[in-house]
Amino acid sequence: MENKKFILETLQRIFDFLSRKPKVLPKTILNPVVVTKPKPQPEAPKIAEDKPSAVQPKWHPPIRSDKFRPTQRFLNPDPIYKITGHHPGTDYGTQGEDGVPLHFCADGEIIESGLHKAFGNYFFYYVPAVDRTFVYFHLRDIAPAHGQYKAGQQCGTTGETGMSAGIHLHLECMKGRKTSVDRARLFISKDALAEAAEDADTFIRSRINLS
């Protein structure tokens, strides 16, 4: 009898336990995690880089200023030049005055010099800033040594060495870095001369006005 009573009480307890309503736990409101993007920082002002200024090379008359007047111009008909029939450079006569100072027309380099039966004492002067070779003929004395020189430095004096009808400077302007071998190869006609060379006086004079 007691066992039966125990069993009934136990079953009642189980029934009571299962009949209970579960306690509802209060909901916890979680704060959402907000991911904040960093604000873009203002760009530092760009400092303009200093660009190298296009400095014009200095230029100088090739002969003393009072004689810087052509007496024979580039491409004038000239029977002395039998192959082209035209004058390949610019002549600056001195009206008989000997030893008039000559000057390098720009910064450059003597790449050839010597004594020639037609050119007399001469030199080929390359100016890299403009990619031109200036040719000085008929100097009274031997040309300066090979090397680099500055615009305005004296490079000799006028004379009448070689095939010259009087004291003067014969000046040529050839395109590119050229020597006497190139000159002989290129000066084969008037058209070829006009293609390979240009008016030295006009070329230098225009740049003297700019410098």
What is the tens place of the pLDDT at every residue in 113-160?
999 999 999 999 999 999 999 999 999 999 999 999 999 999 999 999
Does 52 have pLDDT greater than 50?
Answer: no
Q: Each residue of 82-107: pLDDT tens digit? A: 899 999 999 999 999 999 999 999 99
Q: How far is CA 145 from CA 12, 118, 150, 185, in A?
A: 130, 20, 14, 25
pLDDT recorded at residue 130? 97
- Separation between Cα atoms, residue 127 and residue 171, nearest integer Å: 14
9-34: average pLDDT: 59
- Write down the mean pLDDT value for the chain: 85
1-to-4, 13, 103 alpha-carbon distances in Å? 5, 19, 145
Kindly give the residue spans of alpha helices, DSSP state H, lying in 144-189. 180-186
Answer whether 93's CB lies under 8 Å from 101's CB. no
Give the per-residue pLDDT at 209.
77
Question: Is pTM, for the whole model, over 0.75?
Answer: no
| Cβ pair 150, 60 in contact under 8 A | no
CB atoms within 10 A of CB 120: 21
pLDDT tens-place string over residues 165-185: 899 999 999 999 999 999 999
Rounded Cα–Cα distance for residues 53 and 48 (Å): 14
Instruction: Give the residues across from 127 on adjacent strands.
Output: 132
Q: What is the pLDDT of residue 48?
A: 39
Q: What is the pLDDT of residue 136?
A: 98
First-to-last C-alpha distance (Å) of the chain: 134
Question: Does pLDDT of 47 surpass 50?
Answer: no
Higher pLDDT, 5 or 28: 5
